[in-house]
Amino acid sequence: MNIVVCVKHVPDAQSERTFNDSDNTTDREGVDGLLSELDEYAVEEALKLVEASEGEVTVLTVGPAGAADALKKALQMGAHKAVHVTDDAIHGSDAPATSLLLAKAIEKIGTPDVVITGMASTDGTMGVVPAMLAERLNLPMVTYASQLTIDGSAVTARRDGDTASETIEATLPALVSVTDQINEPRYPSFKGIMAAKKKPVETWGLGDLGVDAGQVGLGAAWTKVDSFAKRPPREKGEIVTDEGDGGTKLAEFLASRKFI
């Protein structure tokens, strides 16, 4: 079984994330980046599936030079090879353009049995690239899997929705997005870190994918950020220490704000 896992290199949520003043895009240089935490679950699930049978896990990313770090982490976890789609013209691409690049790269890799993604990136948090990718690859899709089994020609997943817990089946090849409930991602071992250095990483530009520069990047984006503003910090509120009357004071505050 061959699996492609799509991953994203994102600005660290623990640091001060911001935008570029010049073009309103996400600042990916002034802030430390890392493999999106939610993508670690996708990598882990792919590794488990391959370890239980056979095959290879290819990790794929679209992003600037620094995005190679995300691939490196996935290779250290145990992925077999990596593909990095990068090109100056890609800067500012929106979700549809990103999904186009991912789709073209997956076609070039050779459509696998399963494409696995995280549920969303931790920076843009749109959570729509998996659906766009399924649409472009014309694959059935199972979203938000919290449990996954693959048996011959079908994928079965459990999805814990708001009103029901569902079992979903799709024929292979398929695209699956997984939640952070599905597994506990492994930490790279020392052996894994050493082995990753020898694993193949291919770097592809737009020309390798047959994509025209006019189809991607900020200029081709179907949406644009008109303006951004830092939310003013919340005014520090009243903090009391419970001396046996904390609950009463809490109720008084609620009454003063007309909540009761």
Q: Does 21 engage in binding with another protein (CB under 8 A)?
A: no
Please report how close the Cβ of residue 246 comes to another protein at its closest, in angstroms. Answer: 4
Side-by-side strand order, sheet with 3-6: 141-145, 174-178, 114-118, 3-6, 57-62, 81-85, 201-204
Q: Does 29 engage in binding with another protein (CB under 8 A)?
A: no
Q: Does 17 engage in binding with another protein (CB under 8 A)?
A: yes
Q: Binding residue for another protein (CB under 8 A) from 109, 128, 195, 201? A: 128
Using the minimum distance from each CB to another protein, give the nearer residue, 51 or 245.
245
Using the minimum distance from each CB to another protein, give the nearer residue, 84 or 104.
104
Please report how close the Cβ of residue 54 comes to another protein at its closest, in angstroms. Answer: 25
Q: Does 38 engage in binding with another protein (CB under 8 A)?
A: yes
Using the minimum distance from each CB to another protein, give the nearer residue, 53 or 227.
227
Place of tokens 């890392």: 34
Q: Binding residue for another protein (CB under 8 A) from 166, 187, 191, 194? A: 166
Q: Binding residue for another protein (CB under 8 A) from 143, 178, 196, 217? A: 143
Please tell me the distance from the alpha carbon of residue 11 to that of residue 127, in angstroms, as a whole number.
Answer: 16
Residues 85-104 that bind another protein (CB under 8 A): 94-96, 99
Please tell me the distance from the alpha carbon of residue 256 to that of residue 258, in angstroms, as a whole number.
Answer: 5
Q: At what angle do helices 68-77 and 37-52 cross, to 10 degrees?
A: 40
Q: Does 248 engage in binding with another protein (CB under 8 A)?
A: yes
**List of residues 6+ apart from 124 with CB closer than 8 A:** 26, 95
Strands 3-6 and 57-62: parallel
Largest pairwise CA distance in the chain: 70
Map residue 6 onto helix, strand or coil: strand
Q: Does 221 engage in binding with another protein (CB under 8 A)?
A: yes
Map residue 118 onto helix, strand or coil: strand
Partners of residue 155 on adjacent β-strands: 150, 170
Q: Does 213 engage in binding with another protein (CB under 8 A)?
A: no
Q: Binding residue for another protein (CB under 8 A) from 165, 187, 191, 200? A: 165
Please tell me the distance from the alpha carbon of residue 77 to that of residue 44, in angstroms, as a whole number.
Answer: 8
Residues 49-78 that bind another protein (CB under 8 A): none
Q: Binding residue for another protein (CB under 8 A) from 34, 102, 123, 217? A: 123
Using the minimum distance from each CB to another protein, give the nearer residue, 44 or 123.
123
Q: Does 162 engage in binding with another protein (CB under 8 A)?
A: yes
As a whole number of Å, the CA-based R_g of the chain is 22
